Amino acid sequence: MFAERTRHLNGSDIRAILKMTEQPGMISFAGGMPAPELFPIEEIQEVSQHVLKHHGKQALQYTITEGFLPLREQIAQRMQVKFDKACSPQQILITSGSQQGIELSGKLFLDEGDVVLCESPSFLGAFQAFRLYNPRFIEVPTDDQGMVMEELTRILETTDRVKLLYVIPDFQNPTGRSWSLARRKELMEIVSHYEIVVVEDNPYGELIYEGDSLPSLASLDQKDQVVFLGSFSKILCPGFRVGWVCASPQWLEKYVMAKQAADTHTSTFCQQVIHSYLERYDLEQNVSKIKDVYRKRRNIMLDVMDREFPETALFSKPGGGLFIWVELPAFVNTREVLAKSLEKGIAFVPGGSFYPNGGHEHAMRLNFSNMSEDKIIEGIPRLAAVIRTFI
Ligand SMILES: Cc1ncc(COP(=O)(O)O)c(C=O)c1O
């Protein structure tokens, strides 16, 4: 009965693993979840009451698809301050998480057989969203500076129907790596010669633990080719499901129409609560608190990994975000490692999930934001012991 386009629709590996992590006592480095103890619950409670008391009729009513204008104004200002991108509120569409921005991008730009270029590895939620439109994925070799530009150029010169390039230049999921400024500039120079949409997915850019942030691709975009996706999920809370698309006014109009068909608009109440939170509290202070906690958790995890992991395990040292990427010797299959480590009460995501064309079964992604320092100190040696039995 199902439409042809659903033939690649299958549940994500991560969902299956996350189900297992619900078992009591499990130490999970698997999900990409924020630390719930850092959610500003009391502030949100106060703001929610304020919104209901003073704007209840509006907050519980339908609204326009574009989103609540005062929130779009606040986001446009933040785009300038945080991502160097000058834009107007008319270039902002509020979405139900940045995941919806990814899905709408697939819907708007991909015909069956079009080519999507992505980093190798990349975010599996994006593969899931794009797969409904039956594209062909080409993974562009990626090193610790970003996509390898010679490879990108070769692929662009030799491949028909490249339509969309999906990248996460800041503290990428799953590797935690960030692109250098040179690569960002080179990328924008190269793609400016092609009719390609660049989807810049940036949920982690503000979670930076050392150094200065680098300009977003959107800020280097001379030809209105970049669609920037932002999110409140990791800087406030993911449960509200509020993110945004920032794009040229012409493209944004299409996103608005596609979103209207999908879900009419993002929750009015959640938008208003975030707007009032930004007015009445200091989001920067909240982000700074989150960064302090995650920086410490990252440091502890890396320290314990340095001590406990075998020398042949290579891992990233991320300057921000939520993840550490581990590569084991090529003969190790981390799906088998996972089966054993779940028996020992430890979960992670096998690296193969992050390659749209498969392979690369010897890597793993570890999350450091969601478990306490004690759990990290307890869990990493247990995981290391399991890994050693495979090497
Ligand atoms: C790279 C990337 N993009 C998008 C998302 C989706 O985030 P949101 O909660 O804003 O939909 C995630 C979530 O983990 C992510 O890692």
Q: CA-CA distance, 243 to 23, in Å (whole number)?
A: 30
What was the pLDDT predicted at 111?
97
Q: What are phi and psi of 88, to 5 degrees?
A: -100, 160
Q: Which domains does the chain have, with CATH numbers?
A: 10-40+285-388 (3.90.1150.10), 42-280 (3.40.640.10)
What is the Å distance from ligand 1's center to 209 Cα? 19
Q: Which residues of 59-91 are buried (b: 16+ CB within 10 A; e: fewer)?
A: beeebebbbbbebbebbbebbeebbebebebeb
Q: To test ligand 1's pocket by mutation, which of 98, 206, 259, 367 has the most ligand atoms within 8 angstroms of CB?
A: 98
What was the pLDDT predicted at 229?
98
Determine the distance from the C-alpha atom of residue 111 to the mean position of all C-alpha atoms in its chain, rounded to a whole number: 24
Q: Which of 168, 244, 170, 166 is nearest to 213 (CA)?
A: 170
**Nearest residue by C-alpha to atom 8 in ligand 1:** 97
What is the Å distance from ligand 1's center to 99 Cα? 6
Q: To test ligand 1's pocket by mutation, which of 130, 166, 201 has the most ligand atoms within 8 angstroms of CB?
A: 201
Ligand 1 within 6 A of 96 CB?
A: no
What was the pLDDT predicted at 19?
77
Q: CA-CA distance, 190 to 154, in Å (whole number)?
A: 11
**Nearest residue by C-alpha to atom 5 in ligand 1:** 99
CA angle 149, 152, 153 (to 5 degrees): 85
Ligand 1 within 6 A of 367 CB?
A: no
Q: Which of 301, 325, 328, 300 is nearest to 315 (CA)?
A: 325
Ligand 1 within 6 A of 175 CB?
A: no
What was the pLDDT predicted at 12?
67
Q: CA-CA distance, 243 to 237, in Å (whole number)?
A: 11
Would you write out the chain's pLDDT as a tens digit for each of its 391 residues? 999 888 878 776 667 777 777 788 899 999 899 999 999 999 999 999 999 999 999 999 999 999 999 999 999 999 999 999 999 999 999 999 999 999 999 999 999 999 999 999 999 999 999 999 999 999 999 999 999 999 999 999 999 999 999 999 999 999 999 999 999 999 999 999 999 999 999 999 999 999 999 999 999 999 999 999 999 999 999 999 999 999 999 999 999 999 999 999 999 999 999 999 999 999 999 999 999 999 999 999 999 999 999 999 999 999 999 999 999 999 999 999 999 999 999 999 999 999 999 999 999 999 999 999 999 999 999 999 999 999 9
Q: Is the N-terminal amide bond of 329 cis, ω within 30° of 0?
A: no
What was the pLDDT predicted at 7?
83
> From residue 207, how far is each of 34, 123, 295, 319 by CA, in Å?
11, 17, 9, 9
Ligand 1 within 6 A of 66 CB?
A: no
Ligand 1 within 6 A of 40 CB?
A: no
What is the Å distance from ligand 1's center to 198 Cα? 17
Cβ–Cβ < 8 Å for 224, 251? yes
Return the sign of the alpha-carbon dihedral for residues 15, 237, 258, 123. Answer: negative
What was the pLDDT predicted at 298?
98
Ligand 1 within 6 A of 369 CB?
A: no
